[in-house]
C-alpha cells in the first residue's frame, strides 16, 4: 500500500512540474504572409504570443531593414487595451488591468521599396509586463525578399539535362533581385538505329529484329512474321484400294516439315453379272459379279419365275390361234385395188412382224421347258 501511495505522489509531482514549466515559459512568434513581395507590393507580418495568463502592458521594438517600409496606417494592435500606439519603429500597448495576452496580438504591414537579391530580416524585440514584473522578453524575426515588378532576366541555363525518357529543366534569374524562373525541357526521345535481326523467323515461329538507341543504349524489339511453309507437290505414299483409303504427302522445302492428307477409299468396280443358276418357277436362281480391280466376288439371288410350263404351252397355243385369227381378219379386211402395190407391201410387213413375235414366244417357252 505504501508503495502504491508513493508512486501516486511521484506521478502528481511530475505532472505539477510539467504544468509549472509550461506555465512558466511564455513565448512569441513573428510570421510573414509571404516569403517575397514585389516593389510597391504589400506583405503582412503577424506577432503572436502564448502562455501569458496575465499582463498589463506590451511593447515591441521593430527593426525595419532597407528596402521595406512599414505602413503605420495599416498596422494595428489586434489585442484590446486602453492605449494603443504604433510608430514607424515600435508599438506599445497598455491593457489597464491584468489580462491574458495570447494568440495574434499585432499586425504589421510592410511595402516593398527596393528590390535586392538577398532576403530582408525583420526583427521584433518583445517585452510583456505584469505591473512592474517582466513576464516575457524575447526577440523574434521573419524574412521577406523584395523582388522586382518587372524582372531583368539573365539567359536560360540548363540545370538538369533531359534524357531520352525523362524531362530536364532550365532556369534563369533576375539580375536585380535574383528571382528565379524555371521551366521544363521535354524528353529527347530515343534515337534508334537500323534494325538488326536478332532471331530468325521460321516457317512456324516469329522472329525478332532489334534497334538500339544511340543516346542511351535502350533496345526496341519488333516481331518478324513467321515465314510459312513452302510445300512441294503432293506425292502418293499409299495407294487407295477398293476397301482402304490411301495417303498423300508433301514436304516443305525450307524446314522439311511434312503435311499429310488422306485419299478416299476407291470402292469396288464390278463387271457384268454372270448367271450361275437359272431361276425356276419355284426356286430362285443365282448370279455373281466380280470386281475388276481386286477380284472380290459378290453373289446375288435371281427371283423365281413363278410360271408353269403347261400353262405356258396352253397359253402359246391359244396365242397362236388368236394370232392366226387376227391375221385372217386383217387379210380379209384389206381390199387390194388393181394396180395398187402399196397395200401388198403393208400386208407383208405386218405378217413379218407377227411371225417374229411368234418365234420369240416359242423360243422362251422352249427354254423354260429345258430348264425344268
Task: Identify the bridge partners of residue 289 per DSSP, sorted by sequence position.
Answer: 298
pLDDT greater than 90 at residue 42: yes
Range list of H helices, the chain: 2-23, 309-333, 342-371
Q: Of 142, 139, 136, 123, which Cα lies nearest the Cα of 58?
A: 136
pLDDT of residue 334: 46
Q: What is the Cα–Cα distance from 19 to 108, expressed in whole angstroms?
A: 33
Q: Of 93, 65, 66, which Cα lies nearest the Cα of 78?
A: 93
Q: Give the residue, 361 or 195, on which the prediction is more confident.
A: 195
CA dihedral 361, 363, 366, 368 (to 10 degrees): -80
pLDDT greater than 80 at residue 8: no
pLDDT of residue 266: 86
- The phi, psi pair for 199, rounded to 5°, reads -150, 120
Distances (CA, A) of 17 to 6, 13, 54, 78, 134: 17, 6, 20, 33, 22
Parallel, antiparallel, or unpaired: how do β-strands 36-38 and 133-147 relate? parallel
Percent residues over pLDDT 90 in the chain: 65
Q: Which residues of 113-133 are buried (b: 16+ CB within 10 A; e: fewer)?
A: eebbeebbebebebbbbbeee
For residue 141, the SS3 value is strand
pLDDT greater than 70 at residue 38: yes
Rounded to 5°, angle at Cα 251 from 249 and 255: 150
pLDDT greater than 50 at residue 197: yes
pLDDT greater than 50 at residue 115: yes
For residue 211, the SS3 value is strand
Percent residues over pLDDT 70 in the chain: 82
pLDDT of residue 366: 73
Q: What is the Cα–Cα distance from 325 to 355, expressed in whole angstroms?
A: 13
Q: What is the Cα–Cα distance from 119 to 145, expressed in whole angstroms?
A: 4
pLDDT of residue 329: 55
Q: Give the residue, 335 or 296, on which the prediction is more confident.
A: 296
pLDDT of residue 364: 82
Question: pLDDT (tens digit, 9 = 90+) per residue, 153-188?
Answer: 999 999 999 999 999 999 999 999 999 999 999 999
Q: Is 203 exposed, middle or buried (0-12, 13-18, 19+ CB in 10 A)?
A: middle
pLDDT of residue 12: 52
In which band, very low, low, confident or very high, does the pLDDT at 20 lie, cut at 50, 70 and 90?
Answer: very low
pLDDT greater than 90 at residue 109: yes
In which band, very low, low, confident or very high, does the pLDDT at 335 lie, cut at 50, 70 and 90?
Answer: very low
In which band, very low, low, confident or very high, does the pLDDT at 348 lie, cut at 50, 70 and 90?
Answer: confident
Q: What is the Cα–Cα distance from 70 to 75, expressed in whole angstroms?
A: 8
In which band, very low, low, confident or very high, does the pLDDT at 372 lie, cut at 50, 70 and 90?
Answer: low
pLDDT of residue 96: 85
pLDDT of residue 16: 54
The mean per-residue pLDDT over the stretch 270-291 comes to 90
In which band, very low, low, confident or very high, does the pLDDT at 353 lie, cut at 50, 70 and 90?
Answer: confident
Amino acid at each position: 500500500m505504501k508503495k502504491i501511495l508513493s508512486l501516486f505522489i511521484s506521478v502528481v509531482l511530475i505532472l505539477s512540474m510539467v504544468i509549472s514549466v509550461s506555465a512558466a515559459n511564455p513565448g512569441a512568434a513573428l510570421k510573414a504572409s509571404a516569403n517575397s513581395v514585389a516593389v510597391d507590393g504589400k506583405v503582412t507580418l503577424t506577432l503572436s504570443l502564448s502562455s501569458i495568463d496575465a499582463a498589463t502592458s506590451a511593447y515591441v521594438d521593430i527593426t525595419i531593414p532597407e528596402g521595406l517600409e512599414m505602413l503605420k496606417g495599416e498596422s494595428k494592435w489586434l489585442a484590446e487595451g486602453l492605449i494603443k500606439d504604433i510608430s514607424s519603429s515600435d508599438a506599445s500597448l497598455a491593457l489597464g488591468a491584468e489580462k491574458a495576452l495570447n494568440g495574434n496580438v499585432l499586425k504589421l504591414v510592410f511595402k516593398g521599396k527596393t528590390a535586392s537579391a538577398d532576403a530582408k530580416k525583420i526583427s521584433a524585440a518583445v517585452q510583456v509586463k505584469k505591473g512592474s514584473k517582466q513576464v516575457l522578453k524575447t526577440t523574434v524575426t521573419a524574412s521577406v525578399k523584395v523582388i522586382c515588378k518587372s524582372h531583368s532576366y539573365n539567359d536560360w541555363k540548363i540545370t538538369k539535362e533531359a534524357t531520352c525518357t525523362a524531362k530536364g529543366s532550365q532556369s534563369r534569374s533576375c539580375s536585380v533581385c535574383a528571382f528565379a524562373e524555371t521551366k521544363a525541357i521535354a524528353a529527347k526521345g530515343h534515337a534508334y538505329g537500323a534494325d538488326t535481326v536478332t532471331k530468325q523467323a521460321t516457317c512456324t515461329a516469329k522472329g525478332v529484329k532489334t534497334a538500339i538507341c544511340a543516346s542511351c543504349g535502350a533496345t526496341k524489339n519488333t516481331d518478324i512474321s513467321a515465314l510459312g511453309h513452302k510445300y512441294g507437290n503432293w506425292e502418293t505414299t499409299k495407294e487407295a484400294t477398293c476397301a482402304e483409303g490411301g495417303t498423300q504427302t508433301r514436304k516443305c522445302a525450307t524446314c522439311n516439315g511434312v503435311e499429310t492428307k488422306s485419299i478416299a477409299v476407291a470402292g469396288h468396280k464390278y463387271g457384268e453379272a454372270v448367271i450361275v443358276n437359272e431361276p425356276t418357277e419355284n426356286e430362285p436362281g443365282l448370279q455373281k459379279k466380280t470386281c475388276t480391280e481386286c477380284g472380290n466376288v459378290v453373289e446375288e439371288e435371281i427371283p423365281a419365275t413363278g410360271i408353269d410350263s403347261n400353262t405356258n404351252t396352253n397359253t402359246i397355243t391359244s396365242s397362236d390361234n388368236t394370232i392366226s385369227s387376227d391375221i385372217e381378219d386383217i387379210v380379209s379386211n384389206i381390199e387390194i385395188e388393181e394396180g395398187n402395190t402399196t397395200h401388198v407391201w403393208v400386208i407383208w410387213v405386218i405378217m413379218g412382224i407377227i411371225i417374229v413375235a411368234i418365234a420369240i414366244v416359242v423360243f422362251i417357252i422352249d427354254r423354260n421347258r429345258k430348264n425344268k
